[in-house]
Amino acid sequence: MYPNTRLRRTRQADWSRRLVRENALSVNDLIWSVVVSDTADPIEPVAAMPGVERLSLSALAKAAKEAQDLGIPAMAIFPHIDPSKKDDEGSEALNRDGLVPQAIKTIKEAAPNLGVICDVALDPFTTHGHDGILDGDVIDNDATVDRLIEQALVQAEAGCDVVAPSDMMDGRIGAIREALENEGHINTMILSYAAKYASGFYGPYREAIGSAAALKGDKQTYQMDPSNRDECLREVELDIGEGADMVMVKPGLPYLDIVRALSDAFPVPVYAFQVSGEYAMIEAAAANGWIDGDRVMMESLLAFKRAGAAGIITYFAPRAAKLLG
């Protein structure tokens, strides 16, 4: 009891604060979220995300080299394609000479030691903006899974290290794992977006990939209800059983309780996605002088580590890596 116990004693100096620090953020925890475009020349600013740009393949090569030089372990790429290439079934996602395979090869040539994570979902490629194939107004789960298998194989064949299904279709992890094994891609990892919520925090990202105007309706029939916590435990258990190597929580900061629950319950790496809306809020507040942008950015990233995340996908990765360095 006080005064024998004074918790402030260990807070008095920088050296003692560092000695007793429970969690630490390092560059090894960062995955850089990047939008690659077949229309940017060489870059195209995203209005809703100050500081974020759609990158051409040449600009992507420079970004990959920067990431590797900073020690960032991996880059997660998301495509923005010409609207003329979109159709109702997202056929461009299966193009072996399409933007994503070209982006994978560009990164591997520019930065051979950088991991490449690819989104497996159809929303950047569909005219309706949904993650799957529509049957009337309803997503056809099984037809979508068949298409996602093909998309994942295209990415693996191009040299992708981690395929990351973000669509939230039932059964897709097992189906993709089986296909990868059958085609000899035994070392291709699966990062399952196992706890992806139907959130309002995705708006700026949809602008970035060009699906915002196209999206008809919402995604509540396949993404998780923000009210639910226990349901995510079932989702993750199923995905691990089907062969997921790692799992993702999305969004990030509003769902730190989910990160904590999953990291406590399962012996697999749990990642968090600091999504576009989170990024935009920090940047907007900083631009108005309401917060110290760098300080809040680093504090937010540390919060993921404190909650139990093994790593964070974030648009802040290079900026945070420079501060950490």
Q: Which residues are catalytic?
A: 196, 250
Query: Which residues face 133 on adjacent strands?
Result: none
Report helix angle 230-242 to 172-182, nearest 10.
20
**What is the distance, to the nearest Å, from the Cα of residue 196 to the centroid of all Cα atoms in its chain?**
10
The greatest distance separating any two alpha carbons of the chain, rounded to the nearest whole angstrom, comes to 72
In contact, 96 and 126? CB cutoff 8 Å = no
Query: Which residues face 76 on adjacent strands?
Result: 33, 117
In contact, 150 and 101? CB cutoff 8 Å = no
In contact, 128 and 67? CB cutoff 8 Å = no
H or E element: which one contains 275? Answer: none
CA dihedral 253, 257, 263, 266 (to 10 degrees): -130
- The tokens 């974020």 sit on which residue? 52
